[in-house]
Homo-oligomer: A and B are copies of this chain.
Amino acid sequence: MSRHSAITDVETYMQQLGRAARQASVALRRLPTGRKNAALLAMARQVEASRQTLLAANARDLERGRAGGLDAALLDRLALDDRRLDTMIEGLEQVAALPDPVGEIDGLRARPSGIQVGQMRVPLGVIGIIYESRPNVTLEAASLCLKSGNACILRGGSEASESNAAIADCIAAGLAEAGLPEAAVQVVATTDRAAVGRLIAMPEFVDVIIPRGGKSLIERVSREARVPVIKHLDGVCHVYVDATADLDKALAIAVNAKTQRYGTCNTMETLLIDAPVAAELLPRLAEAYAEHGVELRGCERTRAVLTEVTPAEEADWHAEYLAPVLAIRVVEGIDEAIAHIETYGSHHTDAIVSESYSLARRFLAEVDSSSVMVNASTRFADGFEYGLGAEIGISTDKLHARGPVGLEGLTTRKYVVLGDGQIRG
């Protein structure tokens, strides 16, 4: 009975958040850039002025987390310190400095009827964001949604609830200082899991859901959502070294793509090597990877050169290791490489290393991934490296936004028609 009544309350509560967000979105849509920037900078000042409060709230979350047996990696993601607060403040200032995509009109062209037709970039409306432990996501998500003219409803992890509530206070104070509606950014105040179920099933109030976190969260949200989801699933990224490659570049890219960071989605997980250069390149690679402590798992032809490498099994070609482990396969030319990527890849980021104009052109056209690269490390697949200025995540969807999603991905385009009294004949 009490369980049932709790769910009823969450439902009412989420409906209230949804209705308020929808109303706020109408006001945000009309807001000039300067007002949005003023709110972002006011939030930055609030965070600066609230350092002690934020760190104290975070300390309570950390203590609860330690008592509850959270592992070290989770505790690290949860933790705030002065350096992380600095980064959060800088993040707000950077988003304030970005160009505002809203209102931009593209391709305004005259038509035979005499009307002019173009497309105007406008906010999506209300964005729901569901995320896990890292409390800085609260501020990051709020700033990107606000700058792109969207209202947002943020639902963080229960382990960060005190930190998120303290950050929510800074956001609310910043909004109030700039005279913006308080429902422009709402942080869900209950840790009841039913709140997520409601948030993803209110198409009347929420236009899109962005889940940020582990695969199980994203799969659950995608499965149950009644509104569109911009999602990020696996990053099984490949580098293919073609026989015409500059092998020094190939070595540098292969090492960087694997070892610069192991836990990121744009890290290479499988290296494909064109047969004619395998004998020359593999020993150099093995030496470089050994220095980084990367474990290699190879196909038969790889093991013919590097005899001590573990045999790769079928599961290795599918694996997103997120660890110092690399699968290596020797292939016969670009067709086999592209077929391997098509079969085993996750359509995230794939690169070719080649000096051949024709093969580079084919790889760019034929590999169906959100980022396709020639002679560059897969680690560049990132909103900042691409010049988006900020990133709410990397989309592995095909529709709407594909690859790193910045402010533009949080907007849509409507048609505008300028006439002079035209009627249709």
A contact residues vs B (CB 8 Å cutoff): 26, 29-30, 103, 109, 111, 113, 115, 117, 120, 122, 124-125, 207-208, 223, 226, 228, 230, 246, 248-249, 252-253, 255-257, 260, 342, 351, 364-366, 368-377, 379-381, 385-387, 397-400, 402-404, 412-424
Among the listed B122, B342, B377, B402, which residue makes an inter-chain contact with A368, where contact means beta carbons less than 8 Å apart? B122
- Find out whether the CB atom of B253 lies under 8 angstroms from the CB atom of A387: no
**A375/B412 in contact, CB under 8 A:** no
Q: Classify the secondary structure of A's interface with B.
A: mixed
Within 8 Å by CB of A385, from B115, B208, B386, lies B115
Assuming the A-B contacts A30-B366, A365-B30, A366-B29, are A423 and B379 also in contact, with contact meaning beta carbons closer than 8 angstroms in the complex? yes
Q: Is A421's CB under 8 angstroms from B364's CB?
A: no
User: Which residues from B are CB-within-8-Å of A400?
Assistant: 399-400
Contact A399 B398 (CB under 8 A): no
Q: Are A421 and B380 in contact (CB under 8 A)?
A: no
Residue pair B372, A414 in contact (C-beta under 8 Å) = yes
A416 touches B373 (CB 8 A): yes
Please indicate the chain B residues that have their CB under 8 angstroms from the CB of A380 in the complex.
113, 115, 417, 419, 422, 424
Q: Which residue of B lies closest to A103 (CB)?
A: B365
- Residues from chain B with Cβ under 8 Å of A103 in the complex: 365
Q: Is the CB of B365 within 8 A of A421?
A: no
The 8 lowest CB-CB distance pairs between A and B, nearest first, are A376-B419, A249-B421, A256-B423, A373-B417, A379-B424, A400-B400, A399-B400, A375-B419
